[in-house]
Chain A
Amino acid sequence: MEHTSLLERILRGVALTLVVVFFMFPIAWIFMMSFQTNETILRIPPQLIFEPTLANYTALITGKLVTAAGTLDIAFMRNLWNSVFLSVTSVAVSLLLGVPAAYAFARHKFRGSEDIAFTLLSFKFAPALLVLLPLTLYFQKLGLANTYIGLIWVYQLICLPLILWIVRGYFEDIPADIEYAYRIGGHSWFATFRKIALPLAGPGIAAAGLLAFIFAWNNFVFALVLASADKQPVTVGALAFITSSGIQYGQISAAIVLSITPTLALALYAQRYLVEGLSLGAVKG
C-alpha cells in the first residue's frame, strides 16, 4: 500500500466518499427527521431547513405523548430496556455455550463433530415462522410463555450459530503449535484454552458477539409472539408510532436514533477488536 500513486489515492478517496454518502445519507436524514414533526417532514418537495425541536425525544424519554386527543402513555424506555436486557443476556449465554463448542470443533476432530456442528448451524436456517405455532403451544404448556428465560432460550437460535461458526474460524487460525508448546510445559487443556486460545481469538469473539448482539437487537418476531406487552423490544416500541391517526415519522426517527445509540456505543468501544480482527500475523512471524 505504500506505493500508491496520486491518481489511485484520489480514486480511492472518491470511492470511499461515495460509499460513505450512500450508507450514511439515510442515517443523516433520519437523524434530522428526529428533530422535526410531521409538519416539516411532510413537505413537497422535501426541504433541508427546519426549526429543530426536541419534542420527539422528550416524548420518548418521559413516556408522555401529547396529542390532539390528550396525553398518551408510551412505554418506549421500557422497550429499550427490554432490548438491552434480552440482547445482552442472549449473547452472554451464546458466548458461554458457543465458544467452548467452537473450540472443540476447531481443535478436535472427533466422531460426528462435523455433524454436530452442522446441526447447530442448521438452526440458523429454520425460518422463525416455521416453528412459531408449535413453539407458542409448547411454551404455553411449559410455562415459558411470557418469560424472559423463554425468550433468551429462543434467541439462541439467532445468536448461537453465528457465534459458533465465526469463532470456530478464528480458533482454527491459531496455529496449533502455540497451544501445543504451552501444553508441553505441563499445562492442562483448560489452562491452555484460557491462557492461549481465548486471548488469541479474543477479537474474533468480540466481533462475533457484536454481530450476534445486533441480530438479537433487531429481531422482534419471537418477543411479539411469545411475550406480553411489557417484554417487547424496541422495534415493537417504535412501531407503536404508526397509529391509525397517522405515522409519527419524527418519533419513529427519534426511536431509531435512540435504539442505534447503545449498539453504536458498544461498537465504538469494541472498535479495536472489531476492525483489527486477528493480529496473528505477528504471532506467525
Chain B
Amino acid sequence: MHEKEKDLIDAFLRGQVDRRGLIKGLGAVGLAAGTAGTLLNLGQTRALAADFDWKAHKGKTIKLLLNKHPYADAMIADLENFKQLTGMNVVYDVFPEDVYFDKVTAALSASSPEYDAFMTGAYMTWTYGPAGWITDLNEWIKDPAKTNPNYAWDDFLPGVKNSCAWNGKPGGALGSDDAKQWCIPWGFEQNNITYNKAMFDKAGVTIPGNMDEMVAAAAKLTKDVGGGVYGIGVRGSRSWATIHPGFLSAYANFDQKDLNVSADGKLSAAMNTAQSKAFHKQWVQMIQESGPKDWSTYTWYQVGTDLGAGASAMIFDADILGYFMNGGDNKMAGKLAFASFKANPAAKAPTPNIWIWSLAMSNFSKDKDATWYFMQWASGPEHGLFGATKMDFVNPVRQSVWKDEMFRDKLNKSYPGYVEMFDASAPGASIKFTAQPLFFDLTTEWAATLQKMVAKEVPVDEGLDKLAESIDGQLKEAGLG
C-alpha cells in the first residue's frame, strides 16, 4: 500500500476526514471504491492493533458452528482480516438452516467441545442458558483487558442488546440489571411491511396505517390486482415461527402479552383477554379473506418466495425477508418497497417483535478467551460496517453503522422506504415474548390454535380459552405456574 493511501485512511480513522472525503481522496489516487473497502478494513485492522494486544492468542485455532445465512457469508468474506489481525486460525462448519438448530442442540446437549462459538437466536438462549451450555458474556465485555477499546458496547441498539440479556428466571425482564448476556446480537429482523408498489398502485391501495386498514387493503388487493395475486403474506406453519413475526408485533402494539408474571414470579397465560380475542378475530379474518390459500404450510420461505415471484402484494414479516426478495434473481427484484407498521391506531409508534441472529459462546469451549477475540471482532464496528456496506449484513445492530452515509445511501438507492421504516420502528423494537423455558411449547401450541381458527375448526374465543387453559396446565406441571 502506498503511503498516501495509508495516511488518508488513518486520517479517516482518526475522524479528520469523513467517509466521502476518504472515498474521494482514494479515487484521486486511483483506487476504486470497492478496493477502498478492503483497504479500509485493512487500515482499521492496523488501527485496532495499535491500541490492543490482538496477537495475544496467536497460533490458536477456534471452531465455529454457523448457519447457512448471508450473515455467515459476510463474516467468512471478511475472515482473512481477522486472521491477519490476530494470527489466529478460524475453522467453521456451516449447516443448512433447515437442520441448523437440530445440530446445535445435538452438539450442546452432548457437551461437545468441538465448537467454541456458534450462531443462535435469542429465543434459543432461553433454553441454552439455563441448560448450562452457554456462557454469560458480561465477564468478557466488561473486562478492558480482554475487550478492545474500540468495541463500543454502548453502540449496540439498546432494545436489541437487552433482548439478548436475561437473568435466567422464568418471566424475568429482558435486559434487567442482574441479566446475563447470553449472546451478542449480530444482525436482526424487525417485522414490518414490504409491499409491491406496482400492485398497490394498480389496486389503488395506500400503505395501511393500522390493523383495520391492513385487513381492508389486503382484501382490496386480493380482489383488484388479479392474476391470482393475494393481498398479504404471513406465516402459518405449526411452529413458533408463525407467532413471532408480524403476528406478535401487531399483538404487542395493542399492549397484549403472551404471559402474565405475578409478583411472586408465577407465570400464567394472558392470551385470552377480550382485546386479544378481538385482535385474533381480525387476524384470522385477514388470513381467511386475503392470505395465501395454503397458509397453514407457510414458513419464512413461502412468504418470501411469493413476494419475490409476484404472487403476493405485501408481506407483514421480517424486513430483511423483503430486503432479500428485492434482490437476487427474484422476479420482483427492485420493485419492492418498505414501510413501518403500527397496528393499533392508539399506539404512538410501531412495536416490532424482533428476531436476532446472535453469537454465543459454548460453555464447553476449551479456550474461551481466544473465542472472545473472535466474537468481539465479528460483532465489532469494523466488521459490521464492512458487512452492511459490502455484503448483505442487514439489519446491523450498531447505531454507528446506521449513521453511516454510505450504508444509508445504498439502502435509499435500491430499497425505497427502508431507512425511514427502520428509523420509525427501531426505537420500539425488542423481543415481546416473556423469557421462559416453555417458549417453544407455548408458541407451537399457539400456532396450532391459530390454524384451527383459520380452518374454522374452533371459534376464536373458545380456542383462546382452551389454549390459555392448556398453557396454564403446562406451566404448573413445569413448576412455573
Q: CA separation between A72 and B301, bound complex, in Å?
A: 20
Residue from A42, A72, A137, A246 in contact with B110 in the complex, judged by beta carbons closer than 8 Å: A137
Q: A39-B329, A70-B77 are in contact. Are A224 and B102 (CB under 8 A)?
A: yes
Stretch among A5-13, A170-178, A236-244 lining the B interface: A236-244
Q: CA separation between A14 and B300, bound complex, in Å?
A: 42
* Smallest beta-carbon distance B132→chain A, Å: 15
Q: A38-B309, A136-B109, A140-B112 are in contact. Are A240 and B69 (CB under 8 A)?
A: no
Interface residues of A in 114-159 (CB under 8 A from B): 132-133, 136-137, 139-140, 145-146
Residue from A72, A146, A239 in contact with B96 in the complex, judged by beta carbons closer than 8 Å: A239
* Smallest beta-carbon distance B174→chain A, Å: 24
Q: A37-B329, A140-B112 are in contact. Are A244 and B305 (CB under 8 A)?
A: no
* Smallest beta-carbon distance A82→chain B, Å: 14
Convert B62-105 into 0s and 1s, putting 1 for each residue whose CB lies closer than 8 angstroms to a CB of A: 00000011100100010000000000000001111111001100
Interface residues of B in 285-329 (CB under 8 A from A): 300-301, 304-305, 308-311, 320-321, 324-325, 327-329
Instruction: Decide if B392 touches A145 in the complex (CB within 8 Å).
Output: no
Q: CA separation between A245 and B94, bound complex, in Å?
A: 16
B111, CB-defined interface residue at 8 Å: yes
Interface residues of B in 322-368 (CB under 8 A from A): 324-325, 327-331, 333
User: Number of B interface residues, CB 8 Å?
Assistant: 43
Instruction: Decide if B103 touches A68 in the complex (CB within 8 Å).
Output: no
Instruction: Decide if B96 touches A246 in the complex (CB within 8 Å).
Output: no
B107 cross-chain contacts in A, Cβ below 8 A: 136
B391, CB-defined interface residue at 8 Å: yes
A275, CB-defined interface residue at 8 Å: no
Instruction: Decide if A246 touches B69 in the complex (CB within 8 Å).
Output: no
Q: A44-B227, A244-B69, A244-B300 are in contact. Are A225 and B325 (CB under 8 A)?
A: no
Q: A38-B329, A69-B392, A70-B77 are in contact. Are A229 and B109 (CB under 8 A)?
A: no
Q: CA separation between A17 and B112, bound complex, in Å?
A: 53
Instruction: Decide if A68 touches B328 in the complex (CB within 8 Å).
Output: yes
B106, CB-defined interface residue at 8 Å: yes
Instruction: Decide if B328 touches A244 in the complex (CB within 8 Å).
Output: no
Query: Is chain A's binding surface mostly helix, strand, loop or mixed?
Result: mixed
Instruction: Decide if A42 touches B331 in the complex (CB within 8 Å).
Output: yes
A4, CB-defined interface residue at 8 Å: no
Q: CA separation between A238 and B150, bound complex, in Å?
A: 41
B114, CB-defined interface residue at 8 Å: yes
Interface residues of A in 29-73 (CB under 8 A from B): 37-39, 42-45, 67-70, 72
Instruction: Decide if A244 touches B97 in the complex (CB within 8 Å).
Output: yes
Residue from A43, A68, A133, A225 in contact with B329 in the complex, judged by beta carbons closer than 8 Å: A68
A232 cross-chain contacts in B, Cβ below 8 A: 95
Instruction: Decide if A242 touches B109 in the complex (CB within 8 Å).
Output: no
B209, CB-defined interface residue at 8 Å: no
B228, CB-defined interface residue at 8 Å: yes
Instruction: Decide if B94 touches A246 in the complex (CB within 8 Å).
Output: no
B94 cross-chain contacts in A, Cβ below 8 A: 229, 240
Q: A38-B309, A69-B70, A224-B102 are in contact. Are A246 and B325 (CB under 8 A)?
A: yes
Interface residues of B in 441-456 (CB under 8 A from A): none
A133 cross-chain contacts in B, Cβ below 8 A: 106, 109-110
Instruction: Decide if B70 touches A245 in the complex (CB within 8 Å).
Output: yes
* Smallest beta-carbon distance A146→chain B, Å: 7
A69 cross-chain contacts in B, Cβ below 8 A: 70, 73, 327-328, 391-392
A247, CB-defined interface residue at 8 Å: yes
Instruction: Decide if A244 touches B70 in the complex (CB within 8 Å).
Output: yes
Q: CA separation between A72 and B227, bound complex, in Å?
A: 35
Q: CA separation between A47 and B172, bound complex, in Å?
A: 54
* Smallest beta-carbon distance B432→chain A, Å: 22
A228, CB-defined interface residue at 8 Å: yes
* Smallest beta-carbon distance B312→chain A, Å: 11
Instruction: Decide if B69 touches A243 in the complex (CB within 8 Å).
Output: yes
A224 cross-chain contacts in B, Cβ below 8 A: 95, 99, 102-103, 106
B333 cross-chain contacts in A, Cβ below 8 A: 68
Instruction: Decide if A245 touches B331 in the complex (CB within 8 Å).
Output: no
Closest residue on chain A to residue B66 by CB atoms: A229
* Smallest beta-carbon distance B278→chain A, Å: 33
Q: A145-B112, A240-B68 are in contact. Are A70 and B391 (CB under 8 A)?
A: yes
A225 cross-chain contacts in B, Cβ below 8 A: 102-103, 106
Instruction: Decide if A42 touches B96 in the complex (CB within 8 Å).
Output: no
Closest residue on chain B to residue A132 by CB atoms: B106
Q: CA separation between A225 and B300, bound complex, in Å?
A: 24
Residue among A133, A140, A246 with most chain B CB within 10 A: A246
Instruction: Decide if B331 touches A246 in the complex (CB within 8 Å).
Output: no
Q: CA separation between A240 and B331, bound complex, in Å?
A: 22
B321 cross-chain contacts in A, Cβ below 8 A: 244
Instruction: Decide if B392 touches A42 in the complex (CB within 8 Å).
Output: no
Residue among A38, A137, A230 with most chain B CB within 10 A: A38
Q: CA separation between A50 and B248, bound complex, in Å?
A: 41
Instruction: Decide if A68 touches B106 in the complex (CB within 8 Å).
Output: no
Q: CA separation between A72 and B75, bound complex, in Å?
A: 12
B110 cross-chain contacts in A, Cβ below 8 A: 133, 136-137, 139-140, 145
B305 cross-chain contacts in A, Cβ below 8 A: 38, 42, 246-247
Instruction: Decide if B327 touches A68 in the complex (CB within 8 Å).
Output: yes
Q: A39-B331, A136-B109 are in contact. Are A243 and B103 (CB under 8 A)?
A: no
A139 cross-chain contacts in B, Cβ below 8 A: 110
A68 cross-chain contacts in B, Cβ below 8 A: 327-329, 333
Closest 7 CB pairs between A and B? A229-B93, A136-B110, A245-B324, A42-B309, A239-B96, A225-B106, A240-B96
Extra contacts, 10 of them, besides A42-B305, A133-B110, A247-B301 (Cβ < 8 A), are A39-B331, A44-B227, A68-B328, A69-B392, A70-B391, A145-B114, A224-B95, A225-B106, A232-B95, A244-B69
Could you jot down 19 A-B contacts, CB within 8 Å?
Answer: A44-B227, A44-B310, A67-B328, A68-B327, A69-B392, A70-B77, A72-B73, A136-B107, A140-B111, A224-B95, A232-B95, A242-B97, A242-B98, A243-B69, A243-B97, A244-B97, A244-B321, A245-B70, A245-B324
